[in-house]
Amino acid sequence: MTANTRRKLLETGLQLLLERGYNGLGVQELLQATRVPKGSFYHHFESKQDFALRVVDCYMAEVHAGLDACLDDDTRPPLQRIRRFFELSRDKYGREGHFGCMLGGLGQELSGTSDVFRRKIENCFVVIVDRIAGCLALACERGDFDAETDPHAVANLILNCWEGAALRSRLWRHPAPLDDVLDFCFRSLKAGSAFTP
């Protein structure tokens, strides 16, 4: 029962944080939505900040699962694996109402006011970049694009473009900016030096 209560709070909190951000999330509202008593919340979490950081961990568990499923799929060429990860992310954003990436949303909201969140979210992005860079290195070895290209620099550029497009997609409530970024990035990669940061 205790584990179920914690999971219910985190799952509901993830959707509320995505939709409303940290400052728009009220603990009382979360308790009402989950029908969990206040004491149970503070049994599992020290504070609202602690709760939100644990929600980020849950979100990253989903991201890791997506990265594993896509980037470790050796039935596809490396560039297709990376694109598939972003396409599946785009589809997930759509199912959730086009609110985009929770990391990007919280980063924009809190990075100027909370070093704890700024570091947490940047560390999450570093993990994603490292995984993408590893797959890009495989693509370089295969000769899929210019071997002089720095995989980490390209991975950072792709993620930066993606996060900007996720914001525009949230504003528009439409996936078009995400599709445009994917088309541009992967067309540029195939063109070779045109995408060297």
Distance of alpha carbon 61 from alpha carbon 93, whole angstroms: 16
Q: Would you give the DSSP letter of residue 196?
A: -
pLDDT digits (tens, 9 = 90+) for 55-110: 999 999 999 999 999 999 999 999 999 999 999 999 999 999 999 999 999 999 99
Q: Mapping DSSP to helix (H, G, I), strand (E, B) and coil, where does residue 1 land?
A: coil
pLDDT digits (tens, 9 = 90+) for 131-172: 999 999 999 999 988 778 899 999 999 999 999 999 999 999
Distance of alpha carbon 183 from alpha carbon 74, whole angstroms: 22
Contact between 70 and 84 (Cβ < 8 Å): yes
For residue 157, give Cα distances in angstroms to 33, 65, 109, 129. 38, 22, 21, 9
Distance of alpha carbon 44 from alpha carbon 189, whole angstroms: 46
Token pair for 98: 């086009």
Distance of alpha carbon 166 from alpha carbon 181, whole angstroms: 10
pTM: 0.93
Q: Which CATH number is correct for 53-195, 1.10.10.10, 3.30.420.40, 3.30.70.890, 1.10.357.10?
A: 1.10.357.10
Residue 1 reports pLDDT greater than 50: no
For residue 42, give Cα distances in angstroms to 4, 45, 116. 15, 5, 20
Max distance between CA atoms of the chain, in angstroms, equals 58
